[in-house]
Amino acid sequence: MNMWSDLQDSLVAIDPGIEPGTWEAKFLFNPSLSLFRGHFPGSPLLPGVMQVEMAHLAMERIAGLHYRIIGVNKAKFTGQIFPGDQITIRLAAKDQEDYLQVKAQLSVERRKVGSVIMNLQAS
């Protein structure tokens, strides 16, 4: 398996949010995935790049479009995500002139573990 297919397999649900233009996605990564073996041996954690890519993939699934990341304005990792944790991402998207700005808040069991603000462009 590769990182992208592992990511797709780990997306378990997408639901509309309470506010228009918001959604909630849930991810659950199998502890046996190879991405945990190298990050970090003996003390595995979900890499930060996967947190950015989770928001990217969720928006692609929500919109039914392929996007490329044209900028990450902010990525803040404030907590650890361990193998087997269920990650909830609250997403909000706002159309800009030629891109989509996405804000994502990541949590595990209601504990905030990260946030991402990025710009996506349909490809």
66 is catalytic: no
Paired with 28 in beta bridges are 86
| Residue from 39, 53, 75, 88 carrying the catalytic annotation | 39
| CA distances, 7 to each of 10, 51, 73, 113, 121 (Å) | 5, 10, 22, 18, 20
Catalytic residues: 39
